[in-house]
Amino acid sequence: MDRSKIKSIAKTTIKDSLKWKVLLALIIYALILGIPSMFDGLGTIEGETGAILGAIGGVLSVIAAVLLMPLSVGLALYMLNVVRYKEDDIGYLFSKFDEFVQIFICKLVTDLQIALGYCLLIVPGIIWQCKYSQLDYVIADNPGIKWDEARKKAASMMDCMKMDYFVFILSFIGWYFLAVITFGIALIYIAPYVKTAESVYYEELRSKIYHSAIDAAESEKTE
């Protein structure tokens, strides 16, 4: 994949006001995802009451995290519409809750697999994380898709592309370093840029697979 081309498209996409709209979507996304951590504070009270509240807070935190799983798919759908049509309807963030069951099973199985990989030798976790890196986009791009089919499709897209994606993600390390030395101020630009670039990567990968399939079909006809 042409990383320079992907990044150039991302920069062009978020020019002017669209950058601020994408940033707003990311802020809303981050704030909502922060809801589960609010319940963790219940355990800061000392004594038996604090222990009970801590247990309740832990349960509520897990429940909230589970209920918010479709939000990441909604963000993927939002970003695909930004990249494809320059459309920035924030409502896309909340549009995938009607597919909660399939998304929950899909992400639960995938997250457990990735976590297991990291627990084993770290490297399998990295490989599996790259393998399923396009999962949210696949679900967002295929309404009603079953959880096992989504996993297969996401994994298939990344055949022979895992190292390419890993290098692509590493190529942003300089931007993250800039965010650190500017105490997060640079994230105003970096966050929308990186998320848009990730979405463009999916689009370019999807296009590459599509054209490869067409070329293969034409080759079969000529034989």
* CA pair distance 176, 129, nearest whole angstrom: 20
Which of 28-37, 62-71, 179-188 is predicted least confidently?
28-37
* CA pair distance 49, 52, nearest whole angstrom: 5
Q: Which residues contact 18 (CB under 8 A, 6 or more apart)?
A: 82, 86, 88
Token pair, residue 133, equals: 């890196």
pLDDT digits (tens, 9 = 90+) for 140-170: 999 999 999 999 999 999 998 999 999 999 9
pTM above 0.85, yes or no: yes
* CA pair distance 75, 36, nearest whole angstrom: 18
Cα–Cα separations (whole angstroms), residue 17 to 27, 48, 186, 217: 16, 52, 17, 42
pLDDT at 29: 82
* CA pair distance 176, 199, nearest whole angstrom: 18
Residue of 77, 215, 1 lying closest to 9 (CA atoms):
1
pLDDT digits (tens, 9 = 90+) for 74-88: 999 999 999 988 888
- Tally of CB atoms within 10 A around 75: 22
Helix 173-181 crosses helix 187-222 at what angle (to 10 degrees)? 170
In total, how many domains does the chain have? 1
Which of 35-61 are b and which e, b meaning 16 or more Cβ less than 10 Å from the residue's Cβ?
Answer: ebeebeebbeeeeeeeeebbeebeebb
8-state DSSP, 46: -
Q: Which residue has the higher pLDDT, 61 or 28?
A: 28
Amino acid at 161: M
Token pair, residue 6, equals: 């992907």
8-state DSSP, 159: T
- Output helix, strand, coil percentages for the chain, rounded to the nearest 5: 85, 0, 15
Three-state secondary structure call for residue 169:
helix
The answer on pLDDT for 209 being more than 90 is: no
Amino acid at 84: R
Name the strand (E) or helix (H) holding 221.
helix 187-222
Structural domain of 204: 3-222
pLDDT at 58: 67
- Tally of CB atoms within 10 A around 6: 22
